[in-house]
Structure 1
């Protein structure tokens, strides 16, 4: 079964850029409103949600420029193209989220030890506005999130923001009804914990691409066996399988041609390349041909010494 990505919505690049621009604008406006509201109301949870929302706006800005850079064609400086810049952008965004979450933990613990008065109504109204903006931003980025690790990270951040806004509304309501000011720093710690959990669940895929790991769903041994099943192939070794970008798998390997069939080597290689594209979605493969009588001596099947 091909390991491809059929069924994803491919939005026109310029239209996608416009959506992200609108998402950036509404998030920056919301961040300003939340910070002002948090300072006036004394709510740390509201400021925490504002900082998280600001990080999402920054993530969208990084994603915007990364998308534009990624569309540049390959050149002498970047022979594989610029597509991986989106993966780098995702790593930057996740790293800043970790720093932000640790700061929120620090502030939340301090506020737990020294509770401050809070204007519950102001907290509720601004958090409700934040929830509306978060949902609008999620709607703007939803279709693009299916195709891009970078945009998906920004989309999930906004979804997390929406949950954070709901938590802030609950905290403000409890302050109004019960006077439980300790709920505010508790919600702050919960938001920080959610951010860290979210980063932990997503950053592995980013690191896998940057570390030249095999694409998710592709096993090197399975690919090697499929290559050896092609007529005319004696064996395969020095196999490397990696993700150049989120949706672009690459393969390099030494291909041993059956004895007496060297005259068909080019056709056999073409057959292997076609199989890799059809069955595994590997469109970029580099194969070094060896005749059975002069193959590498005791090579590694996967990787090289």
Structure 2
């Protein structure tokens, strides 16, 4: 297997540690405040924050695992650990959202008077803490699906706190206590949308689907332009993780060349695949007039 080396973004685990500690503080404060004020939205936000703590701990562990070196029993190492974490984290977003909707509907049927001042101040604290935590992970989230799932947990928490703040202000100045339930449902719907998107992204990689940005037919056309190539077939393309994009294929050569000549040909193919399609791990089986079906680009 050939590999083209690229610069990989180094995910900083310490940012996750800071976020975990901050979220533990805000969770405790919101649970106490929610009980004292009687606000379901505040308690819901606290439960979401606590789910974030578990999510961040899981993401931190997966990040540590992903850095373990390969071994004879684990030839790819634990590079997919973060994908599993992303999938689980996204699933918890949806589960939490469903619980929020259930509680909000119950509260909407039987509205309760809420201590709005406490709701307002604790929601402001939630905005500051979750906003700062999300900011810590923002750069990593742009390069890593696991960090992206953790970032969205924190970002949605910040948005939830904004919604709780708006609800608190409306309750304080207009006495609209039903807003608490409405805000909770809106928060939950947003969580479901984000969760489904993350589940789709992580599932595609876990199932070894061809990445969305790869056009296999276009890739084949480019490789076929290289002198010495007859037909590229039996192609499989997949992401191992966020950094590594793999390709394996059979290459029918136009001439019966020596291995040293094939190395030169392979180098040309690698450059095309890397520069045009960002594929950095390539495994190609050379052939010359081998008797097997070559009329299929993708084949088991």
TM-score band, normalised by the shorter chain? over 0.9
Is 1:290 aligned to residue 287 of structure 2? yes
In structure 1, which of residues 169, 172, 179 is the aligned counterpart of residue 175 of structure 2?
A: 179
Tell me which residue corresponds to 1:70. 66
Secondary structure at the residue paired with 1:236? strand
Secondary structure at the residue paired with 2:214? coil
Describe how 1:97-136 pairs up with structure 2 within 5 A: 97-136=93-132
TM-score normalised according to structure 2 size? 0.92
Question: For 2:153 and 2:216, how far apart are their aligned partners in 1?
Answer: 33
Secondary structure at the residue paired with 1:240? strand
Secondary structure at the residue paired with 2:240? strand
Aligned length: 295
Tell me which residue corresponds to 1:241. 237
Question: For 2:131 and 2:236, how far apart are their aligned partners in 1?
Answer: 42
In structure 1, which of residues 156, 160, 164 is the aligned counterpart of residue 160 of structure 2?
A: 164
Is 1:84 aligned to residue 86 of structure 2? no
Secondary structure at the residue paired with 1:234? strand
Pairwise CA distance, 1:270: 3.0
In structure 2, which of residues 32, 49, 58 is the aligned counterpart of residue 53 of structure 1?
A: 49
Secondary structure at the residue paired with 1:216? coil
Question: For 2:265 and 2:15, how far apart are their aligned partners in 1?
Answer: 47
Question: For 2:52 and 2:212, how far apart are their aligned partners in 1?
Answer: 26
Is 1:281 aligned to residue 243 of structure 2? no
Taking a change above 3 Å as real, the CA distance of residues 295 and 225 of structure 1, as seen in their structure-2 partners, is: farther
Is 1:255 aligned to residue 251 of structure 2? yes
User: After superposition, what is the alpha-carbon deviation per residue over 1:183-225, rounded to whole angstroms, capped at 9, x for unaligned?
Assistant: 1111111111110011123322111100101223122222222
Secondary structure at the residue paired with 2:286? strand
In structure 1, which of residues 224, 230, 239 is the aligned counterpart of residue 226 of structure 2?
A: 230
Is 1:272 aligned to residue 265 of structure 2? no
In structure 1, which of residues 201, 204, 211 is the aligned counterpart of residue 197 of structure 2?
A: 201
- Structure 1 unmatched runs, 5+: none
- 2:94 touches 2:196 (CA, 8 Å); kept in 1? no
Pairwise CA distance, 1:128: 0.7
Moved over 6 A (4+): none
Question: For 1:190 and 1:5, how far apart are their aligned partners in 2?
Answer: 42
Is 1:139 aligned to residue 135 of structure 2? yes
RMSD: 1.9
User: After superposition, what is the alpha-carbon deviation per residue over 1:248-295, rounded to whole angstroms, capped at 9, x for unaligned?
Assistant: 10001010000354563333233222322333222211111110x324
Secondary structure at the residue paired with 2:154? helix
